[in-house]
Structure 1
């Protein structure tokens, strides 16, 4: 029982941490409109940026990434004596990501998970996270679409993990599956963005946004 208790406890804790919607929390703390009431209505850093507060967007981005990174590295650093190894790393990383997508504290209405997924990847391997982040930056710089950059990063992350496994980092099939699941869910959460990209109506980075609409927050 003990052998399965600690991995289960870590997985539940990771999900609860992932369920903290920092876009909403930071916006409330800084006196901004609820990000679920304007723009894309997505509780994420990109939509918080549409409030006009770069500081709030940066803080949101960092905390969303942190909640993906922290459970993974805690298991990596301290989990072995409690029977938590690579399988638990895969579980807690995926759990934190799922918490962001479907947060129990916010009526299961979460964001798209880009920053949290990046945090998980950084926890698995700093080089893997940096390679994925660099992919996002390159696509965003040349095409000016955050959604397209996120989709490209989601596509390449599992490929990087497999192609450079054994060279830049140690690979484990369970972690590979977790990364592939996150990538697939990221693409699915961006399905509306894909439709707008095809139609040519997707908003570009740096484009002027409409002001947030007044309305009661969906708490």
Structure 2
């Protein structure tokens, strides 16, 4: 029962879409209506408002970190084991992808996944972030960086901690990230993918 409660709370935390919330606060159009129509930091950046994009990135990453951190903190008190922590990691990520507060239209999960990884272990998160940064700097494609980082994340976890329940949680997140980027993969192959920093005329009201 406690494990189920942990997972439900994590899902609700993940369902807070900072891209939508921040855009409303600063007066930008709903990020689900322009650019890639993805409510995430990269699409908010297309509005030209870097502050809103940074706030979105921090918020989405923070909720992933907070859900896992809180679960790890409270797990011993409520008898929740490693499998429960793994379920929390997946639940907060699923909340971002399919948020109950926003008609189940969510983002692709890159920032939230990073937050989850940092919550599991800071070195795991930093290694994955370094991979994202290296690819993004070299090629200027956020989606390509996310794809490469998501492939390496389970490898990093296995290298650092071996195979356990959390490894499979990381693997599940990586698989979902690849699935959510299927259109980006097609765009990359067709040479139609937008680079980091490209703006959308539809973003401002």
Is the structural similarity TM-score above 0.5?
yes
Q: Which moved more, 1:180-189 or 1:74-83?
A: 74-83
Distance 1:163 1:212 in 2: 44
Query: Which TM-score applies when normalising by structure 1?
Result: 0.90
Measured after TM superposition, the shift of residue 172 of structure 1 is: 5.4
Q: In the comparison of the two structures, how many residue pairs are matched?
A: 205
Distance 2:80 2:156 in 1: 25
Distance 2:204 2:131 in 1: 36
After TM superposition, list the pairs within 5 Å mapping 1:104-143 onto structure 2: 104-143=100-139
Moved over 4 A (4+): none
1:192 maps to 183
Question: Which of 87, 92, 102 lines up with 2:88 in the alignment?
Answer: 92
Measured after TM superposition, the shift of residue 210 of structure 1 is: 3.0
2:201 maps to 211
Query: Which TM-score applies when normalising by structure 2?
Result: 0.96
Gapped runs of 5+ residues in structure 2? none
Find the structure with the greater CA-based Rg. 1
Distance 1:13 1:173 in 2: 23
Measured after TM superposition, the shift of residue 205 of structure 1 is: 1.5
**Which has a greater percent of helix?**
2
Assess, with a 3 A threshold, how the Cα gap between structure 1 residues 163 and 21 changes in structure 2: closer, same or farther. Answer: same
Gapped runs of 5+ residues in structure 1? 166-170
Question: Could you say what the CA RMSD is over the residues aligned between the two structures, in angstroms?
Answer: 1.3
